[in-house]
């Protein structure tokens, strides 16, 4: 055996052994020793095969900018009052602007000075006067708007990650994408509707005082008292499941928000066995809660989540311990989920579900079975066809075809790529095309044999002449496959992965491995005729 032959044999054997070892965990799973399972992961199955949920959420960043402006409006009002500046009103207006309306030039100057000092991110705009008033316009700077948007998306990603972690899904994926989008993949999720309810909620928790002297019925009719807001309290009858909504007029101003929570837990009440959520405020929150309850004994305080009133208990006494409870008509599951989202924090802006693909586990299993069955049937037909057409040489092609499949799977497992249903289609296609390289070589060898060459010379010439053709033909297919990678994630990428891997593997198996097999055969002695 020549040296080159020995090296090549060693190399190919190494590849085969490595491939087989790496596939151990995929096929034998828990029967293998620990070190083996730690070294190689089993092949990851895509959501379409194992079942699960693929979500793309869009963060409504403009809402985050609006709420930033609202905060500035509130702060401005407070500051102006503190400084005894007389003003008519402070408003948010379209175009990321804040308008402060005052009565005279003097006040306008004072406002200008204060705004410049307190809110450097605001740009002063032209001064407009209107019917005896002076309106000062301030605009949020472009940098600040960009920063608020950026922060909203980052914060949303963080909050969603917290929620997903508490939801208990193994190996979730959360990724930030372009255009303020967030991709979430939850493999094997059992209850997709619950997942959506958990992830899609903004979870903005607010405590607002009820305006006891306002008549809710008037408010429903459109007659809202100034500084008031109409909300609905949602009640579910535990026996019939019927939902009733009771109108409630609360103060527009938020007394306290959920940002100041330190913990939230589900508890079961001992009187009616109903679930409620017990919340703990942090130091600042506890102090504020203490003040509010002290000042409002006897009035009702509405606990509002995303503009729905959960309950509005009467404050019977000052509460100074920093803990409270949210009761309402919810099931234990709902209470658990509420505690989860309160712990995970609210989203800085609402999110919109832009894309949702959910595959149930039963369909995934069917797809795996049908996919594997097609690969087997297709592969078997090809193997038989090659044997009939090329006899013993056909068997060589068949062997490298099987080897090709092993290599594809091994590479998927080593690089942690994901196998999807289109990915299986890519493998099926590769099976068909992988033999092409061998066909090209064999046809060349046949031509050379017809020209009267010896077996060795025909082999040599056949491989050499076919090699360039094979490379040219495969590179172009590879170009097409690589373009598919721009789809980022999901089923199409799975196809691109297996197709590209398959092309590279078939080049290796056809040009190197099958050549090696022929060379080994020839090295054993004088061969007159090839079975081809």
Partner 1 sequence: MQIIKHDINIDFVGKRKLALILSGVLILIGMASLIVNGGPKYGIDFVGGTLVQVKFTESTDPAKIKDSLASLDLGSVVVQSFGDDPKEFLIRVQVTDKDKNLSGKISGNLNMVYGEGSVDIRRMEMVGPQVGKDLRQKGILSIVYAMIGILIYISWRFELRFAIGAILALVHDMLITLGAFSITGREIDLPIIAAFLAIIGYSLNDTIIVYDRIRENYGKHKKKGFATVVNRSINETLSRTILTSGTTLLVVLALFIFGGGVIHNFAFAMLVGILIGTYSSIFVASPVLILWDDYRASKKKKVAAEGSS
Span 379-418, contacts to partner 1 by CB under 8 A: 379, 381-382, 385-386, 388-391
Pairing of strands 228-236, 243-251: antiparallel
Length of the chain: 532
Return the range that interacts with partner 1 (CB under 8 A); candidates 68-76, 268-276, 323-331, 484-492: 484-492
Nearest CA to 305 among 204, 198, 160, 234? Answer: 204
Closest to partner 1 by CB, 8 or 181: 181
Nearest approach, Cβ of 520 to partner 1 (angstroms)? 25
Closest to partner 1 by CB, 324 or 349: 349
- Indicate the DSSP class of residue 206: E
Nearest approach, Cβ of 375 to partner 1 (angstroms)? 8
Contact pick of 496, 501, 511, 513 for partner 1 (by CB under 8 A) = 496
Is 492 a binder of partner 1 (CB under 8 A)? yes
Q: How far apart are the two ends of the chain, measured CA to CA in Å?
A: 24
Nearest CA to 497 among 433, 404, 417, 406? Answer: 417
Rounded Cα–Cα distance for residues 189 and 187 (Å) = 6
Helix, strand, coil fractions of the chain, as percent rounded to 5: 55, 20, 20
Closest to partner 1 by CB, 293 or 498: 498
Closest to partner 1 by CB, 56 or 203: 56
Total residues contacting partner 1 by CB under 8 A comes to 77
Return the range that interacts with partner 1 (CB under 8 A); candidates 63-71, 100-108, 244-252, 444-452: 444-452
Contact pick of 487, 520, 523, 531 for partner 1 (by CB under 8 A) = 487
Nearest approach, Cβ of 466 to partner 1 (angstroms)? 9
Is 527 a binder of partner 1 (CB under 8 A)? no
Rounded Cα–Cα distance for residues 329 and 306 (Å) = 16
Rounded Cα–Cα distance for residues 95 and 138 (Å) = 10
Closest to partner 1 by CB, 224 or 429: 429
Which residues, numbered 320-379, are part of the site for partner 1 (CB under 8 A)? 352-360, 362-363, 366-367, 370-371, 373-374, 377-379
Whole-angstrom Cα Rg for the chain = 35
Nearest approach, Cβ of 337 to partner 1 (angstroms)? 14
Contact pick of 164, 344, 431, 507 for partner 1 (by CB under 8 A) = 431
Nearest approach, Cβ of 200 to partner 1 (angstroms)? 5
**DSSP H helices in 302-360:** 332-344
Which residues, numbered 45-64, are part of the site for partner 1 (CB under 8 A)? 48, 56, 58
- Indicate the DSSP class of residue 329: S
- Indicate the DSSP class of residue 149: H
Closest to partner 1 by CB, 15 or 403: 403
Residues 6 or more apart in contact with residue 412 via CB below 8 angstroms:
43, 44, 418, 419, 497, 498, 501
Please give the angle made by the CA atoms of 118, 93 and 79, to the nearest 5 degrees: 25
Interface map 166-185 toward partner 1 (x if CB under 8 A) = --------------------
Closest to partner 1 by CB, 305 or 435: 435
Residue in the structure block whose two tokens are 């100041």 = 260
Closest to partner 1 by CB, 107 or 428: 428
**Which sign does the torsion angle of CA 288, 289, 290, 295 carry?**
positive
- 112: which 2 tokens? 């200008």
Is 479 a binder of partner 1 (CB under 8 A)? yes
Nearest CA to 18 among 499, 409, 398? Answer: 409
Nearest approach, Cβ of 410 to partner 1 (angstroms)? 21
Interface map 192-231 toward partner 1 (x if CB under 8 A) = xx--xx--x-------------------------------
Closest to partner 1 by CB, 261 or 428: 428
Contact pick of 81, 475, 520, 523 for partner 1 (by CB under 8 A) = 475
Distances (CA, A) of 236 to 135, 244, 245, 279: 48, 6, 9, 22
Distances (CA, A) of 108 to 77, 89, 117, 133, 167: 14, 12, 14, 10, 52
Nearest approach, Cβ of 128 to partner 1 (angstroms)? 36
Which residues, numbered 296-325, are part of the site for partner 1 (CB under 8 A)? none
């Amino acid at each position: 055996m020549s040296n080159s032959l020995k090296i090549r044999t060693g190399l190919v054997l190494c590849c085969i052994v490595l491939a087989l070892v790496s596939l151990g965990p995929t096929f034998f799973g828990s029967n293998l020793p620990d070190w083996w399972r730690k070294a190689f992961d089993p092949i990851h199955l895509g959501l379409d095969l194992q079942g699960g949920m693929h979500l793309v959420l869009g963060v409504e960043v403009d809402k985050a900018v609006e709420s930033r402006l609202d905060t500035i409006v509130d702060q401005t009002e407070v500051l102006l009052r503190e400084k005894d500046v007389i003003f008519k009103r402070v408003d948010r207006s379209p175009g990321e602007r804040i308008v402060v309306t005052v009565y005279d030039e003097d006040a306008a100057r004072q406002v200008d000075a204060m705004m410049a000092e307190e809110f450097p991110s605001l740009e002063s705009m032209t001064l407009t006067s209107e019917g005896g008033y002076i309106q000062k316009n301030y605009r949020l700077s472009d940098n600040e708007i960009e920063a608020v948007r950026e922060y909203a998306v980052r914060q949303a990603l963080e909050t969603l990650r917290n929620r997903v972690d508490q939801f208990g899904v193994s190996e979730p994926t959360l990724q930030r994408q372009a255009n303020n989008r967030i991709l979430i993949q939850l493999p094997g999720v059992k209850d997709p509707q619950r997942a959506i309810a958990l992830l899609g909620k903004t979870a903005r928790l607010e405590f607002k005082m009820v305006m006891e002297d306002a008549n809710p019925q008037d408010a429903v009719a459109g007659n809202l008292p100034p500084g008031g807001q109409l909300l609905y309290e949602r009640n579910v009858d535990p026996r019939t499941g019927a939902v009733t909504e009771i109108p409630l007029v609360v103060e527009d101003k938020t007394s306290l928000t959920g940002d100041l929570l330190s913990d939230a837990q589900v508890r079961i009440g001992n009187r009616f066995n109903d679930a409620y959520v017990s919340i703990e405020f942090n130091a600042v929150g506890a102090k504020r809660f203490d003040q509010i309850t002290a000042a409002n004994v006897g009035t009702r305080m509405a606990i509002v989540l995303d503009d729905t009133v959960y309950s509005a208990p009467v404050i019977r006494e000052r509460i100074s311990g920093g803990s409270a409870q949210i009761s309402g008509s919810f099931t234990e599951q709902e209470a658990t989920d509420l505690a989860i989202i309160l712990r995970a924090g609210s989203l800085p802006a609402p999110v919109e579900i832009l894309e949702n693909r959910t595959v149930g586990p039963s369909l995934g299993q069917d797809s795996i079975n049908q996919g594997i069955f097609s690969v087997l049937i297709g592969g078997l037909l090809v193997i038989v066809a090659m044997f009939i057409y090329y006899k013993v040489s056909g068997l060589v092609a068949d062997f490298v075809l099987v080897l090709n499949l092993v290599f594809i799977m091994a590479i998927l497992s080593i690089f942690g790529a994901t196998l999807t249903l289109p990915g299986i289609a890519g493998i099926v296609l590769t099976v068909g095309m992988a033999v092409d390289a061998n066909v090209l070589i064999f046809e060349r060898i046949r031509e050379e044999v017809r020209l009267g060459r010896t077996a060795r010379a025909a082999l040599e010439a056949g491989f050499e002449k076919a090699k360039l053709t094979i490379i040219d033909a495969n590179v172009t297919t590879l170009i097409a496959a690589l373009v598919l990678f721009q789809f980022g994630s999901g089923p199409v990428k799975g196809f691109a992965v297996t197709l590209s891997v398959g092309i590279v593997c078939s080049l290796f198996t056809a040009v190197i491995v099958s050549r090696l097999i022929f060379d080994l055969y020839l090295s054993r002695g004088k061969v007159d005729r090839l079975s081809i």
